[in-house]
Chains A and B, each alone.
Chain A
Amino acid sequence: AQSVTQLDSQVPVFEEAPVELRCNYSSSVSVYLFWYVQYPNQGLQLLLKYLSGSTLVKGINGFEAEFNKSQTSFHLRKPSVHISDTAEYFCAVSDGGSGNTGKLIFGQGTTLQVKP
């Protein structure tokens, strides 16, 4: 079965500093990878996704992620964070093999705390 591990439960960072949120997944024949963001008291919204093609994926709000098949990782990065980026971030994987149902397996979440 697929699994996702987010290596940091909390990441504190100062405003305008770069940030990386780490995500590793269990290996599979083919996977689709996602990052979702959850602002306080809201539902999740999609930041970016990797389905195929270029391993560097750009998303909304200046975020990007790199798919690394050999390391089974999909780390999220932003070169300069803002206070408004304070939120919880979830990495998720969907099994792209035969019989795929589109079910998502989520990581435990990483809380990004941006300090002034």
Chain B
Amino acid sequence: DSGVTQTPKHLITATGQRVTLRCSPRSGDLSVYWYQQSLDQGLQFLIQYYNGEERAKGNILERFSAQQFPDLHSELNLSSLELGDSALYFCASSVTGGYGANVLTFGAGSRLTVL
């Protein structure tokens, strides 16, 4: 157990729907990251939050949004889902949120299947 908790573990939904993925960071970590892992794309960085504020944004679609709450848990919202959104979504956390050298601790992931 890495200390990073992600729910749900598996999610099956239909095209056009909206889902919310939840992440609780490791105790003491202030920064949360979201990554998407698909078979042909590897691990793609989506977005980072640090202590409630957006810190960095990667290849995140406009249909996706995220936030980090005062208790530091984070949610990733995926809307108008398409077949291509089927993937593993990983949350990671780190103590700090500065440039570059952050040791990331990953959760076990949420597997999203869009039918």
- Asked if A pairs with B, the answer is no
Residues of B within 8 A of A (CB): none
